[in-house]
Structure 1
Amino acid sequence: MKILILSTLAISFLFIQCTQNMTHQEETTEEYEFTNHLINSTSPYLLQHAHNPVDWYPWGPEALNKAKEENKPILLSIGYSSCHWCHVMAHESFENEEIARLMNERFINIKLDREERPDLDNIYMDAVQAMGLRGGWPLNVFITPDQKPFYGGTYFPPDQWKKLIVSVSDAYEHKYDQLYESASQFAANIDQSEAEKYGLTDGGVALTLSDFDTAYDSLKNKFDPEWGGMNRAPKFPMPALWNFLLTYSHTSGQTKAREHCLLTLDKIASGGIYDHVGGGFSRYSVDGEWHVPHFEKMLYDNGQLLSLYANAYKLTGKSEYKQVLTGIAQWLQREMLHEQGGFYSALDADSEGEEGKFYVWTFEEVKELAGGDFSVIAEYYNVTKEGNWEPGKNVLRKLEDDKVLATELNLSVTELRDQVEQFNAKALAVRNTRIRPGLDNKLIAGWNGLALTGLCHSYQATGESIFADLATENAAFISQQLVTNKGLVRIYGLDTRGYLEDYAAVIQAFITYYETFFDETYLELARTMTNQVIDEFFDPKENLFYYTSNQAEHLIARKKEIFDNVIPASNSIMAENLHKLGLMYDDESYKKIAFTMIYQVNKLIRQEPEYLSNWASISLLRLKPTAEVLLVGAQAHEQALQINKTYLPNKILMASTTGSSLPLFEYKTVADNETTIYVCFDKVCKRPVNNFTDALAEIHDRK
């Protein structure tokens, strides 16, 4: 579809790529002079803007009706509380009274928290990209009173922002017909079905192992062989992509894929993107060496990285991976845990108006804390007097393997790690006295689901109680506080309907929780929610799920999420959920939907595996039958834990000590008064065995 773009807007105002070291003005401690319509919001992000001179409204009938009544365009500004450049634009432009006056005179101004309303964020991000403009946050979109977009962009410096709002307003007043034609075409473009847009209506294709070999070959050409990850900057962890490499290597026997994945995990864990003092990962690094992070910490990243490092630990037994897992869990427990067991959504990148100030160290600070171990610590964490980032500022990172460095320093690995652990404990205590970054205290269902899945995988891999304790509390929180008789609530404490990403992640988490602790209550909850998703979200014409329920607010488009990104596409997670539940409940309708979804997306997997990596993992596993592993008897849970310590991506695991009414347990009895393990493929079972070692041999012998 040809899109008409107003040249007076598109040519003059391009996205500005700003340097990392820009900092905004210091926050004021004066009494508030202004208060706008955001003052009663619950969103931390909206409350950050409640005292701007801009007359912000939240999204809702009041603002939308006002735009229609006054025939004014709407400025929709979208961000989130831990977004650094959102803060920058707020301080530079939205706190500027002259700019605010222009905005108030010419627009109805709406502020939106993308984490509260990802449905709107998805629509208008698509619109900006359809305009050929760069998307990002803050996302600033100009829309008509009937919600059709006609221009947008991300961060703008104040002088350009002032010129832009005047230009947009003038175009709306004097070139309305042309502008509205453009807006209507953009609206039609984003409302186009995914099947039409990506050619899914032509039918699906079956993939072979050679197709996945080709997909891997296309990916490896983009790898960074020195620092891991993809050969680009900035670098995002992208857990789904590296999980695909592990799955591909396991299925194909291709060791190079596994080697690059493990190199990537080593480099990420050694870089400054990992918080060596307090645990947990930042959202991305601004450079190609995982060194300097964008310091915000997101729950969704860390939940997925728990799963990824747990899988790597199952494969390798490498102690550094277990250390990473423990560090993430301790950070969650210390800084992100709500009293009822849920996890908060994010920590800000900024403190005291400066990005990363909470996390960086001077040479003298490290010297004082390390004492007699200073030379070791400085070498270990690449601390220099000049600073390894900005002048005088050090972002702690490891440049050498512990064994190599210990040899160079004439220490044992144990001695080296003891010194590092002592320093980390002192540094954490000192850091905790600093002014902390802002906390986004929303408890989001889908992100908690990702964290729960990661904790379960970590317990499977390690057997450590910290993961079991956090997982048990979190599962109870989700099931008791977020699951209602009307369905899943997206945000704790608010009357917010869950989106597909929430349902998909929570269903996945409850399935994983069952496969870890074998509480059938959670498996049944997963099944109940899956039935609701099919009733409210499924499009039988395209065999995919909408992002929003049929009970949700009617918007200018009802989207479907297909492409995997920093979070896997909700449709790809649902395909895996349906596949597993179809096996566990022997439900052919679930299996059919899962198969159809995967089959028709296979064409896209061949074209662009990087952005369909979770789909690729699921599709790859369908090349061989999934192992159905069932344990019955007094030691079923203990034996199952041993099986879970092995990396087996293509299995379902079910266990019962006292008997179960689940269909796959029919005729599965205890043999010779010992816990009995059944390994089956397509419901055809091998000879029952009485220990997990023999069961693993039967799983590996499925060829």
Structure 2
Amino acid sequence: MNCLSQQTSPYLLQHAHNPVDWFPWGEEALSKAKTENKPILVSIGYSACHWCHVMERECFEKEPIAAVMNEHFVCIKVDREERPDVDAVYMDAVQAMGVRGGWPLNVFLLPDSRPFYGVTYLPAQNWVQLLKSIDNAFKKHYDELAGSAEGFVQNMLVSDTEKYGLVTGSGDYASSELDIMFEQLQRNFDTEKGGMDRAPKFPMPSIYKFLLRYFDISQNPQALAQLELSLDRIALGGIYDHVGGGWARYSVDDEWFIPHFEKMLYDNAQLLSIYAEAYSLTRNPLYEDRLLSTIQWLQDEMRNEQGGFYSALDADSEGVEGKFYIWTKAELQQILGEDFEWFAKLYNVSEHGNWEDGHNHLHLTNTVRQTASALKLDVADLETKYSAALKKLVEKREERIRPGLDDKTLTSWNGLLIKGLADSYRALGNEYIREMAVSAGVFIRENMIVAGKLMHSYKNGQATVTGFLEDYAAVIEAYLALYQITFDEQWITLAKKLADYTIHNFYDQKEGFFYFTDIYGETLITRKKELFDNVIPSSNSIMAHNLYLLGMMLDEDEYARISDAMLSKMSKVLLADVQWVTNWAALYCMRASPTAEIIIVGAEADDMRKDFDRFFVPNKLVMGTTSRSDLPLLKSRTDINGKTAIYVCYDKTCQLPVTQVEYALDQLAGV
């Protein structure tokens, strides 16, 4: 075994038996490179990454290839999920080299850690040729490599604020500018299959979040139509696991048909939030089903004993991509018996299959009832028969060898999931969902906060790696969500403490944004800021949301000032290329119309909140108490003659209190 055998990361442990002399990222490997004057190979991936596994089998497990790597390089393996800071630095460098980023990411560094070349997946022959070429260049053309490396470092030292000319805007928030953002985003819609007009297709929750908020303000039917089309196809397509629940990371095609089979916690966390809000708006039973099924999958397969959640399920099992999820026609005939014929029509099952080697992957383009009706199937008792058929497939699948589980628990992704569970609870009202959310919040509080600071990763009873901005942003958002579904003030108190720590240790007063790394964290060749939204919203955009809400909830003007300054600086990009800043655009929606402050006071505050939360009111915060509270928005608020009261307020100015939810909704509608 190599030096990775003592690590906790499942991805690193996967490589512990490679003949490559892998080191984890750290001082030992970096010092070794300087002492021996060897170039460094940093190979970055994650446990659920299919092509990472392929490159390991083809290259890193081969003795002759390992011998070349060991002789000429100091080899470092990095789990990108455990060390997103290292990944971000070297991904930025590789993209500056003109290489399209992805994983596995293989970056070659000088002994002082400056990058000079990078590639993604390469087959064995090409990989060996590259290793020998780089060894030759390092020995015979060192000055040229050093010059290139210095150029890449200087490029990385230019902040995004400088690179994109981000300057403070007017500070005005006009709904007409939201129309401009939507029209710009609309140009790239796939209006036939949903999502954006490209392949592969990734769910992009922050885009859907913006569409929900934009529709709430504008009532533009095109926004709602694109949102529903996208969510319907993501719910029905092969990217969703029809048998076991939960979504894969993306589809390799433009139809949401064949997924890249790994399931990531962060995708499912965010999609819970989106489908919960969409269900509150549309009452579409398909959305409710996907919420409940995905939450059940999370409960059954992804939850640790302490209430936190694991990171991912692999794409592969038995070395084959998707093997756990696919079926031959003969298998389905044997399992389903007399139900096979209608099921096969429903899912277009065939002998030759719709996937590789005669296998079928389950995929719909319309709801089960719509498809059955179009095929002239008897739909009278279809729901019962359909559920029974899926149950048979679940039972059969349990006999298969399962995909690998990445059983580390990441603070940031758990924060996203707590928010997703809280939003699902608000939409559906199922108490066990609230219990799951609170339990995960307790897990972070008890295990991931050490001496007032967040840690990033947890496994085998040990919290490791100093927390990043993504951890603080996601957990603050989660704790604000927990407060709003429990009225337990410990959560808002913890959110404030974490926000204050973040401002003190991550905030760049000069540029007005937050660094990704703690001032007390490890020093890399550059200290990055994450500004642009992707499949996960940027940590800065989440922090801007958090500070806006905290500013109102705690009457802290400084929080609101920082949030507004951040959003103002993003105004140029919002109007020029909004698809990369849609979580910022969602915050813009909150600033373009007044945010409702819903205050509930009285013995039945929780029941009243639960009733109120069923309705789609995205631009709000909810606070309450069964007795009294010293929180600024709750001070001097009382029930009315023993009846629980709802106060609808805007900018600390309240309308007359009411004692029924429908009256409060009327007040909201009248604004």
Q: TM-score interval w.r.t. the shorter chain?
A: over 0.9
**Using the alignment, how far apart are the partners of 1:324 and 1:122 within structure 2?**
33
Residue 513 of structure 1 pairs with residue 472 of structure 2: no
Contact 1:514 1:520 in 2 (8 A): yes
- The answer to whether the Cα contact below 8 Å between 1:76 and 1:141 also exists between their aligned partners in 2 is yes
Structure 2 residues without counterparts, runs of 5 or longer: none
Deviations along 1:229-249, one digit per CA (max 9) or x if unpaired, are: 111110000111111111111
Q: Distance in 2 between matches of 1:66 and 1:224?
A: 51
Task: Give the equivalent residue in structure 1 for 2:392.
Answer: 426
Q: Give the counterpart of 1:501 among 444, 448, 470.
A: 470
CA contact (8 A) 1:381 1:399 kept: no
Query: What are the within-5 Å matches in structure 2 for residues 436-475 of structure 1?
Result: 436-475=402-441
Deviation (angstroms), 1:157: 1.1
Report deviation, 1:411: 5.9
2:608 aligns with 639
Q: Percent identity?
A: 50
Post-superposition shift, 1:129?
Answer: 0.4
Contact kept, 8 Å, 1:461 with 1:644, in 2: the verdict is yes
- Partner residue, 2:77: 111
Task: Return the alpha-carbon distance in structure 2 between the equivalents of residues 347 and 404 of structure 1.
Answer: 32
> Which residue of structure 2 lines up, in the alignment, with residue 274 of structure 1?
240
Q: Distance in 2 between matches of 1:494 and 1:568?
A: 24
Check the 8 A contact 1:279/1:331 in 2, yes or no.
yes
Q: 1:483 deviation in Å? A: 1.8
1:414-447: CA deviations, max 9, x gaps? 6212111101111111101100100000000010
Call closer, same or farther: CA 1:338–1:170 in 2, change over 3 Å.
Answer: same
Distance in 2 of aligned mates of 1:685 and 1:409: 55
Q: Are 1:694 and 2:663 counterparts?
A: yes
Q: Give the partner amino acid of 1:329.
A: I
For residue 152 of structure 2, the aligned residue among 183, 186, 201 is: 186
8 Å CA contact retained: 1:219, 1:610: yes
Per the TM alignment, residue 408 of structure 1 is displaced from its structure 2 partner at its CA by: 4.0
- Cα distance in 2, alignment partners of residues 515 and 384 from structure 1: 49
Letter in 2 for 1:422: A
2:522 corresponding residue in structure 1: 553
Question: Residue 228 of structure 2 corresponds to which residue in structure 1?
Answer: 262
Q: Is the 8 A contact 2:82 2:457 kept in 1?
A: yes
Moved more, 664-673 or 629-638: 664-673
Deviation at 1:697, TM superposition (A): 1.4
Q: What's the CA shift for 1:403?
A: 3.2
SS state at 1:39 partner: helix
* Structure 1 residue 216: Cα displacement: 1.2
Q: Does the 8 Å CA contact 2:512/2:566 hold for their aligned counterparts?
A: yes
**Partners of 2:457 and 2:503 in 1: CA distance:** 22
SS of equivalent residue, structure 2 residue 466: coil
1:592-622 residue CA offsets vs partner (Å, 9 max, x unmatched): 0111111111111111111100000001210
Structure 1 residue aligned with 2:635: 666
The whole-number CA distance in structure 1 between the counterparts of 2:325 and 2:279 is 27
Q: Which SS does the other structure have where 2:579 is aligned?
A: helix
CA distance in 1, matches of 2:571, 2:172: 7
Shifted more, 480-489 versus 265-274: the winner is 480-489
In structure 2, what is the equivalent of residue 544 of structure 1? 513
Q: In the aligned structure 2, how far is the partner of 1:661 from the partner of 1:511? A: 17
Distance 1:510 1:382 in 2: 45
CA distance in 2, matches of 1:97, 1:200: 50
Please say if residues 361 and 394 of structure 1, whose CA atoms lie closer than 8 Å, have aligned partners that are also in contact.
Answer: yes
Q: What's 2:306 paired with?
A: 340
Q: What SS class does the counterpart of residue 290 from structure 1 fall into?
A: coil
Deviation at 1:407, TM superposition (A): 2.7
Deviation at 1:412, TM superposition (A): 6.6
Deviation at 1:207, TM superposition (A): 4.5
Q: CA deviation at 1:202?
A: 6.0
Equivalent residue letter for 2:402: R
For 1:110, the aligned partner's letter is I
Distance in 1 separating the partners of 2:463 and 2:486: 30
User: Which residue number in structure 2 is paired with residue 18 of structure 1?
Assistant: none
CA distance in structure 2 between the partners assigned to 1:245 and 1:627 by the alignment: 19
Alignment coverage as a number of residue pairs: 668
1:600 and 2:566 aligned: no
Partner of 1:366: 332
Return 465-474 or 511-520, whichever deviates more.
465-474
Contact in 2 for aligned 1:58/1:111 (Cα 8 Å):
yes
**565, 584, 592: which is aligned to 2:534?**
565
Q: How far apart in 2 are the matches of 1:189 and 1:427? A: 53
Change (3 A) 1:412 1:653: farther
* Kept after mapping to 1: 8 A contact 2:168/2:565: no
Whole-Å Cα distance in 2 between the matches of residues 371 and 204 of structure 1?
67
| SS class of match (2:324) | coil
> For 1:168, what is the secondary structure of its paired residue?
helix
AA in 1 matched with 2:390: N
Match in the other structure for 2:623: 654
Matched residue, 1:145: 111
Partner of 1:620: 589
Matched-pair contact (CA < 8 Å) for 1:278–1:327: yes
- The corresponding residue for 1:283 is 249
Over aligned residues, Cα RMSD in angstroms?
A: 1.3
> Following the alignment from structure 2 to structure 1, what is the Cα–Cα distance between the partners of residues 378 and 272?
29
> What corresponds to 2:499 in structure 1?
530
Residue from 331, 351, 354 that aligns with 2:317: 351
Q: What is the SS of the residue equivalent to 2:71?
A: helix
In 2, the alpha carbon distance for the partners of 1:286 and 1:375 equals: 28
Gaps of 5+ in 1: 1-34
Equivalents in 1 of 2:621, 2:434: separation in Å?
A: 20
CA distance in 1, matches of 2:432, 2:343: 28
Which of 401, 405, 409 lines up with 1:435 in the alignment? Answer: 401
2:265 equivalent to 1:299: yes
Aligned to 1:5: none
Amino acid at match of 1:254: N
SS of 2:290's partner is: helix
Structure 2 equivalent of residue 577 of structure 1: 546
- 1:218 is aligned to 184
Alignment of 1:179-258 (within 5 A): 179-201=145-167, 203=169, 206-258=172-224
In 2: Cα distance, 1:339 partner to 1:412 partner: 44
C-alpha deviations, 1:266-299, integer Å up to 9, x for none?
Answer: 0011111000000000000001110100000000
Q: Is 1:87 paired with 2:53?
A: yes
Q: Which amino acid aligns with 1:311?
A: E
Q: What residue identity is the alignment partner of 2:430?
A: E
For 2:482, the aligned partner's letter is Y
After TM superposition, the runs of 4+ consecutive aligned structure 1 residues lying more than 3 A away are 201-207, 408-414
TM-score of the aligned structures, taking structure 1 as reference length: 0.93
Contact 2:628 2:635 in 1 (8 A): no
Tell me how far 1:258 sits from its aligned partner.
Answer: 1.1
